[in-house]
Amino acid sequence: MSALSKLQPLNHPLFVKHNISVAIKRDDKIDNIISGNKWRKLKYNLRHAKSIAAKGVITFGGCFSNHIHATAFACKQQQLPVIGIIRGEESNQTNYTLACAKHWGMQLNFVDRKTYRLRDDKDYLMQLQQQYPDHIIVPEGGSNALALTGVAEVIDELNQQTEFDTLITPVGSGGTLAGLIFGDKAQHSLIGIAVLKQQDYLENQVENLLPNEAKKFNNWSIMNQYHCGGYAKFSSQDVEKIREFSQATGVDFEPVYSGKMILALLDLIESGCFPAQHRIVLLHTGGLQGLAGMFERGILKEDEWPSLPVPTAQ
């Protein structure tokens, strides 16, 4: 697994008005299926699995999880058996995300919410490891020390591609921001946009993921006011703003992760949070496959979206 994602300048009237330059790191284009931060996080996890001759991978996710979707295909590529412990009902296995995962060979084990809440519990994980002694366990979202190494490479690439002042990324499980902090070593300002409604939880999560040598860095922050009501929540007005930005820039976004970053960006610039001539880079963390599930459930209307940037289960 190796790739260099391109850096694309973005043009928008608001950027001109405030004399701000904005570019986007197109990690959503790294791979047709394993895109964005999932690709970065899985890179060294799966390399580790192969190096120790693991017989398989175990991981966790919901019924519409980008991580489950990406891990299933990545393990297929690496010829590694994979078990997905899925929060939800077995009837969901025909939805787009899980149908793809199953098609690519993932064994789907459905558990109730009470059991799923044990996914980070040491005793539960120990029992799971005893049950599957030759498998590696990758946490929900793929966020662990190995993931940080992969995400840190974003900074190395950007330093070769451009000069910038601020890097902005969506934050879900905290692994992407932690990896950027680890790789950046306090060179730039790093802003995470929380996509879930849990004040201070993400700050603690990021701190816990950081290795000791990176805990000293204070060049990062998480903004918790742009979650639009909570994880996977958004209004029709939010969706319209995201769609308009996509149409203006030619870049697709979805309203759960990357779209909330865009809503935050527009508000921050309009509010004068950045000085003139400030250079901003956005990290597109992928997740576009999640649009298919929203179309299936009627949350979004497919014919109102610019395109359906979702691959088939090939």
pLDDT classification of 301: cutoffs 50, 70, 90: confident
pLDDT classification of 60: cutoffs 50, 70, 90: very high
- Considering the domain 7-32+149-304 in this protein, what is its CATH number? 3.40.50.1100
pLDDT classification of 306: cutoffs 50, 70, 90: low
Q: Given CA atoms 209, 210, 215, 219 in this order, what sign does their dihedral have?
A: negative
Question: Tell me: the pLDDT tens digits for 222-273?
Answer: 999 998 888 878 888 999 999 999 999 999 999 989 999 999 999 999 999 9
CA 286, distance to chain mean position in Å, is: 6
- Rounded average pLDDT over 277-300: 89
CATH topology match: 7-32+149-304 vs 37-142:
yes
> Nearest Cα to 258, choosing from 235, 226, 229?
226
Alpha-carbon span 139 to 158, nearest angstrom? 27
Alpha-carbon span 164 to 180, nearest angstrom? 14
> What is the edge-to-edge ordering of all strands in the sheet holding 135-137?
107-111, 82-87, 56-62, 135-137
So where are the chain's domains?
Answer: 7-32+149-304, 37-142
pLDDT at residue 2, rounded to an integer? 57
82-87 vs 166-171, strand pairing mode: unpaired
Q: Hey, what are 105's tokens?
A: 């060979």
pLDDT at residue 147, rounded to an integer? 96
> Nearest Cα to 146, choosing from 113, 177, 179?
179
pLDDT at residue 1, rounded to an integer? 54
Q: Whole-prediction pTM value?
A: 0.93
Question: Tell me: the pLDDT tens digits for 139-194?
Answer: 999 999 999 999 999 999 999 999 999 999 999 989 999 999 999 999 999 999 99
Alpha-carbon span 86 to 115, nearest angstrom? 10
pLDDT at residue 305, rounded to an integer? 67
- Count of helix runs (H) and strand runs (E) in the chain: 12, 10
Q: 37-142: what fold?
A: Rossmann fold (3.40.50)
Q: What is the dihedral of CA 239, 243, 245, 247, to 10 degrees?
A: 180
Question: Tell me: the pLDDT tens digits for 81-136?
Answer: 999 999 988 888 899 999 999 999 999 999 999 999 999 999 999 999 999 999 99
* Residue corresponding to tokens 């498998």: 135
pLDDT at residue 311, rounded to an integer? 46
Q: How many residues belong to the chain?
A: 314
